[in-house]
Amino acid sequence: MKKTIVTTDKAPSAIGPYSQAVIHNGMVYVSGQIALDPESMEVVGDSVEEQALQVMKNLSAVLKAAGCSLEDVLKCTLYLADMGDFQKVNSIYGRYFQEDPPAREAVAVKTLPKNVQVEISCFAALSE
């Protein structure tokens, strides 16, 4: 089965050689989203909370373009520039996954693209 590339102008365009998402065998693999405004391609927000909100908006837009939603997410990976921000990001993240949250891990990294404070990627299942 061939993979399908997902693109939408409702989320930031790729800033490197990758796709916003790829669909294969009923699964959606969403690339890491950072706090970029889709129109200006500029970083949104100075606080980690503001950035996390934009990241979740971007993830939602890519998932919608793929034909699913946050409810279909099976697993997320959170990348944090500072693990001290875990609770702040977790509070924003939790607003979007209130029931039956996906599996997840959170890791601290030295730096993220565009020096943002948070990046989130996910896998989702397409509805049958």
**Mean pLDDT for the stretch of residues 89-108:** 97
Structural tokens at position 7: 């693109």
Residue % of the chain over a pLDDT of 90: 96
Domain with 103 in it: 4-125
Is a pLDDT exceeding 80 seen at residue 1? no
> Average pLDDT over the chain, rounded to whole?
96
Is a pLDDT exceeding 80 seen at residue 128? no
Compute the distance between CA of residue 3 and CA of residue 79 in angstroms, rounded to an integer.
26
Tally of domains in the chain: 1
Q: What is the CATH number of the domain that holds 96?
A: 3.30.1330.40
